[in-house]
Amino acid sequence: MAIVLITGATAGFGEACAKKFAENGYNLIITGRRQERLSQLQQELEKQYEIKVLPLSFDVRDEQAVSSILGGIPEEWKAVDILINNAGLALGLSTIDESALSDWDTMLDTNVKGLLYVSRVVMPWLKARSKGHIINLGSTAAKAVYAKGAVYCASKAAVDSISQGMRIDLLPYHIKVTAIHPGAAETEFSMVRFKGDSSQADNVYKGIKALSAEDVADTIYYCASLPAHVCINDLVITCTQQANAYYTYRE
């Protein structure tokens, strides 16, 4: 049975992907910082879909934890078919001269370095089998910079560039690399960005029918389900009322 590894599986796109792939018979390795949520998701999916789930609680920013915990899983779990680098976040919405340095560090360490740390552990497993698929979660922010979002946009532009480089470097090993760039999606994203301020978070989605986590998970599953010789390299997905990270029509 195929195995998919999903980072940031405790909410949003990651949790929706876990459910989508479980529904289709995949065994799962799910990672996240919130152990209780991972355990609950494991129990739910194993019971409902009769699959195997390996929950791993660590922070992708911690290279030693990634190497020891993820790198130390049993050999049978290392036969990963699909890696979904989903863990990521935005923090704050301030001009670059007023942003908190700690927010910059957290975004860059999670969105860029965390993705690299996890990929570095998993890529040798894929290379050894000469097959596999890496799916990196970017953002429309990777494609168009907007005011007060410079560092977040930069982190997602880095994901875009890293994905392109991965695709080139892994060509000899028949490994697919796909970058998925969602626009506005109604998940925990804005609550995290605005640090629990629900009024600010709600305003992000006011007047639009935003994407759901399930919409994005369905798209990721489609990309992962194509024939072995077909790879979607780069995909931008928005709701109908959004053109890019800047232009949105609100009713």
> Helix and strand tally (H, E) in the chain?
9, 7
Residue appearing with tokens 């890019």: 244
How many Å apart are CA 19 and CA 16, to the nearest integer?
5
Report CA-CA distances (Å) from 135 to 147, 150, 169, 180, 222.
28, 24, 15, 7, 12
Q: Contact, 119 vs 167, CB < 8 A?
A: no
Report CA-CA distances (Å) from 3 to 41, 60, 88, 156.
16, 20, 22, 26
Backbone angles phi, psi at 52, to 5 degrees: -105, 140
Catalytic status, residue 152: yes
Backbone angles phi, psi at 34, to 5 degrees: -100, 95
Q: Contact, 184 vs 200, CB < 8 A?
A: no
Work out whether strand 175-182 and strand 53-57 pair parallel, antiparallel, or are unpaired. Answer: unpaired
How many Å apart are CA 22 and CA 143, to the nearest integer?
31
Residue of 152, 205, 221, 247 marked catalytic: 152
- Name, in order, each residue with C-beta under 8 angstroms of 222's C-beta and a sequence gap of 6 or more: none
Catalogue the active-site residues.
Answer: 152
